[in-house]
């Protein structure tokens, strides 16, 4: 554990932000390493809880809480567009917000755009920009 600063250490490289985080059905977005640090600092991850992290490239990441290490999952897994959308649509947060991200016309959208749009919805930026 990085006891001096209690800061997250990125193994080998950083994810491409924004990152969508799913902690046992609680979905949220982080836009920077500093926000990731703040959000994960107070979270207690039990072994039985499901934790999924997806960066803007669609790559899957893992967080080793005891060591405070954030790293790309091995073997490297790239999420498909529909999987990311369904993870969001099936989350408690999406139900509470009353929002569903459309599952149609996925061929016309890049994966990083979908991650950025869902991140904007989760962080409240969509409302600030006039909605989606």
- 38 three-class SS: helix
Rounded to whole angstroms, the Cα distance separating 20 from 3 reads 26
**pLDDT, greater one: 18 or 8:** 18
Rounded to whole angstroms, the Cα distance separating 75 from 8 reads 21
* pLDDT score of 132: 40
Give the predicted TM-score (pTM) of the model.
0.83
Question: Which token pair is 78?
Answer: 């790239």
Q: CA quadruple 7, 13, 17, 20: dihedral positive or negative?
A: negative
Domain edges within the chain: 9-128
Q: What does the chain come to in residues? A: 132
Rounded to whole angstroms, the Cα distance separating 30 from 18 reads 6
Question: Which token pair is 69?
Answer: 């290490």
Rounded to whole angstroms, the Cα distance separating 123 from 63 reads 21
pLDDT in tens, 80-132: 999 999 999 999 999 999 999 999 989 889 999 999 999 999 998 655 444 44
pLDDT in tens, 27-45: 999 999 999 999 888 777 7
């Amino acid at each position: 554990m990085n006891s001096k600063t209690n800061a997250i250490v990125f193994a080998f490289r950083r994810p491409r932000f924004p990152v969508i985080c799913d902690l046992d059905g609680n979905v949220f977005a982080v836009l920077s390493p500093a926000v990731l640090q703040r959000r994960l600092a107070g979270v207690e991850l039990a072994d039985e809880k499901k934790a999924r992290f997806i960066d803007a490239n669609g790559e899957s990441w893992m967080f080793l809480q005891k060591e405070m290490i954030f790293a790309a999952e091995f073997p490297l897994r790239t999420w498909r567009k529909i999987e990311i959308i369904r993870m969001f649509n099936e989350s408690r947060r999406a139900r509470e917000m009353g929002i569903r991200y459309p599952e149609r016309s996925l061929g016309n959208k890049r994966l990083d755009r979908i991650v950025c749009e869902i991140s904007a919805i989760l962080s409240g930026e969509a409302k600030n920009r006039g909605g989606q």
